[in-house]
């Protein structure tokens, strides 16, 4: 799935405006809606291929979990997109930070699914592209959410909301480093 990009970015030396942040959130909303639709289409394809799948139940659980998660995120983003033109609020900052935080945690579910059901010999190899697409769509959507910490930080700055120590946004590189250290059992 091709994901649109918007410039300027939300981190680095740029000072994004409220309109820039709003546009990023609209794009996340559009991406999330497309991912939900893709997962629903994939579920229909799983219905057709379930006799060739080793564990269709596990795949249904994975699809249902992420379809539900992304549908809830879509509702959050719809609310923020609608309310943001009247000014950023703490609830917007908190919602974006929560989405980013949940994405980091939910990424682990993708890795477990990949290791248990995708990265191994399959009885019917022709279903591998379906499994890879499902995994890729969920993982890519979660990774796309990581930058929401920067959006939350920018909204907080624009609204004059004080973030306590440790609540400021971190960059994507730092987030990946922290996740990798945690997965390896190292201390941050």
Residue 147 is predicted with a pLDDT of: 87
Residue 85 is predicted with a pLDDT of: 94
| pTM beyond cutoff 0.85 | no
DSSP conformation class of 178: H
Tokens 């279903």 -> residue: 127
Q: Compute the distance between CA of residue 37 and CA of residue 187 in angstroms, rounded to an integer.
A: 38
- Residue 120 scores a pLDDT above 60: yes
Q: Compute the distance between CA of residue 66 and CA of residue 104 in angstroms, rounded to an integer.
A: 14
Q: Are 1 and 137 in contact (CB under 8 A)?
A: yes
Q: Compute the distance between CA of residue 177 and CA of residue 112 in angstroms, rounded to an integer.
A: 19
Q: Are 87 and 15 in contact (CB under 8 A)?
A: no
Q: Looking at per-residue confidence, does 174 or 74 come out higher? A: 74
- Residue 186 scores a pLDDT above 70: no
- Residue 22 scores a pLDDT above 80: yes
The token pair that represents 40 in the structure block: 């629903």
Element (H, E) at 154: helix 148-159
Residue 17 is predicted with a pLDDT of: 87
């Amino acid at each position: 799935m091709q994901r649109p990009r918007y410039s300027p970015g939300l981190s680095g030396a740029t000072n994004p405006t409220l309109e820039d942040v709003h546009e990023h959130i609209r794009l996340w909303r559009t991406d999330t809606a497309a991912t939900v639709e893709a997962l629903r289409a994939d579920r229909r394809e799983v219905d057709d291929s379930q006799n060739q799948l080793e564990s269709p139940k596990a795949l249904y659980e994975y699809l249902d979990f992420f379809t539900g998660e992304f549908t809830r995120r879509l509702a959050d983003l719809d609310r923020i997109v609608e309310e943001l033109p009247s000014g950023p609020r703490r609830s917007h900052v908190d919602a974006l930070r929560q989405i980013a935080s949940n994405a980091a945690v939910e990424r682990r579910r993708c890795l477990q699914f990949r290791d248990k059901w995708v990265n191994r010999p399959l009885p019917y190899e022709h279903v591998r592209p379906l499994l890879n697409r499902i995994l890729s769509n969920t993982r890519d959507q979660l990774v796309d959410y990581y930058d929401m910490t920067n959006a939350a930080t920018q909204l907080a700055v624009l609204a004059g909301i004080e973030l306590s120590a440790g609540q400021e946004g971190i960059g994507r590189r730092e987030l990946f480093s922290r996740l990798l250290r945690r997965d390896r059992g190292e201390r941050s």
